[in-house]
Amino acid sequence: MEFLIITLRNIPAIHRSLLLAVVILTALGNVHGRHKVHKWETVEYSAISCRAHTASLTDFGGVGDGTTLNTNAFKSAVDHLSQFQSDGGSMLYVPAGKWLTGNFNLTSHFTLYLDKDAVLLASQDENDYPVIAPLPSYGRGRDTDGGRFISLIFGTNLTDVVITGENGTIDGQGQLWWNKFHKKELQYTRPYLIEIMYSDNIQISSLTLVNSPSWNVHPVYCSNIIIQGITILAPVRSPNTDGINPDSCINTRIEDCYIVSGDDCIAVKSGWDEYGVAFGMPTKQLAIRRITCISPTSATIALGSEMSGGIQDVRAEDIVAIDTESGVRIKTAVGRGGYVKDIYVKGVTMKTMKYVFWMTGDYGSHPDNNYDPNALPVIDNINYRDMVAENVTIAAKLAGISGDPFTGICISNVTIELAPKAKKLAWNCTDISGISSGVVPQPCELLPDQGTENVAPCNFPTENLPIDDMKVQTCSCRKKLY
């Protein structure tokens, strides 16, 4: 205190009391143990709904050290915040850190928000994923008979759910699961990263998903879905790491996504054989826009093969595929039943492809032997236009089903540059019918060119889908900066 007194003598009296107060408060802070000093920052984000209540995962004992298991913290947080469903909804903020967790379920009128430096690490312990029943439209799991491990982030019978952030990361740590799959050591189907069932008004946006054990994003039996600004990364030889799989969903918008995958970047589905036929819930009114895909062994967009509930009114535009096996592929088989119709594709750029066009009528995997061999799929009104491809091995392999041809195929304004070692037969067509216009190289005889006098683009609807009327708004939240 002698230094303080000497210093104060040299300071005008009018400032002494103020300085003394500051020094005493600082000293008291030191006496009580050098507490962390923090400030608040306001973060803005786009969402279908803003929330009245916010909490941080750390408020519920979360520890972001990459080794502490936070499953109970997530569950406690969601359970607590669920009380605000009718009071403006709630948001769980996941701050910077590495948050190891097993499965946790979401609630309605709820936002899960990941900080830009937050990483959700999926547990590799099977015990952290309860086993649930197979999907009724599938009759069994995709990997094995019977049940399936619940997804890392799961929800069912929900309304108004947002999973978003500042491009925070969800890491599925899938290598262990891939190894078990290859060694046939799995008793149940692998977990997905995000699965939402029987729900309405869903947004999944502004996230990075890496190394999923299997499918990444799986909305199933849902309506009014926006999936936007997602980056999905998986090794290109990893098994079944589909990017986004809308499944028996109505009114969906997928846009501005970048996907590197070991399977289809986007796979549109609606149930498997007799189970999908009986469930009878199609996927329809689906918009796919501004997608970039890399998948050397699979499709940019696959329709099927599980399509027994039907797929209708899919509109894909402004698509880029690089080093990918095929562009938009239709996969089906005898026994599927259902339909794929009213498909519209335009504005596709492809570089280094095996196939530009690929339709398969013999994709014959079945859930069991109880399928109806007389359940033939209907493939009709398939439209492709305004496409450019280079370094292509085969322009098209279009194989319908004998006695059940694929009809109404239209291809216009398409330029395909074949690779130096391309197959001699650029177009291979059986059991299909349709027309072409302005296509290079010349299509097969089953797609006759309409001639220069009758050149017309294939159809692409101009009216909006209902999902285009579903708007997002600017929301904000406050986070602590230490």
How many Å apart are CA 192 and CA 243, to the nearest integer? 10
Q: Which of 437, 365, 369, 355 is nearest to 399 (CA)?
A: 355
Matching residue, tokens 């230490």: 482
Burial 168-180 (b: 16+ CB within 10 A, else e): bbbbbbbeebbeb
The C-alpha angle with vertex 269 and arms to 138 and 343, in degrees rounded to 5, equals 150
Phi-psi region of 9 (alpha: psi -120 to 50; beta: other; left: phi over 0): alpha
Q: Record the tokens describing residue 481, joined without a space.
A: 């900066």
Phi-psi region of 285 (alpha: psi -120 to 50; beta: other; left: phi over 0): left
Could you give the dihedral angle defined by the CA atoms of residues 461, 466, 469 and 471, in that order, rounded to the nearest 10 degrees? -120
Q: Record the tokens describing residue 318, joined without a space.
A: 């402004």
How many Å apart are CA 48 and CA 200, to the nearest integer? 12
Q: Record the tokens describing residue 470, joined without a space.
A: 């579903």
Contact 410, 436 (CB under 8 A): yes
CA 178 to chain centre: 19
Contact 403, 369 (CB under 8 A): no
E runs forming strands in 95-158: 97-101, 104-105, 110-114, 118-122, 131-132, 148-149, 153-156
Could you give the dihedral angle defined by the CA atoms of residues 364, 366, 368 and 369, in that order, rounded to the nearest 10 degrees? -30
Q: Record the tokens describing residue 25, joined without a space.
A: 């408060």
Could you give the dihedral angle defined by the CA atoms of residues 227, 233, 238 and 244, in that order, rounded to the nearest 10 degrees? 10
How many Å apart are CA 92 and CA 163, to the nearest integer? 10
How many Å apart are CA 422 and CA 428, to the nearest integer? 13
Pairing state of beta strands 473-481 and 39-47?
antiparallel
Matching residue, tokens 């937050």: 118
Which residues have a catalytic role annotated? 263
The two counts, helices (H) then strands (E), for the chain are 5, 29
Could you give the dihedral angle defined by the CA atoms of residues 199, 120, 265 and 469, in that order, rounded to the nearest 10 degrees? 40
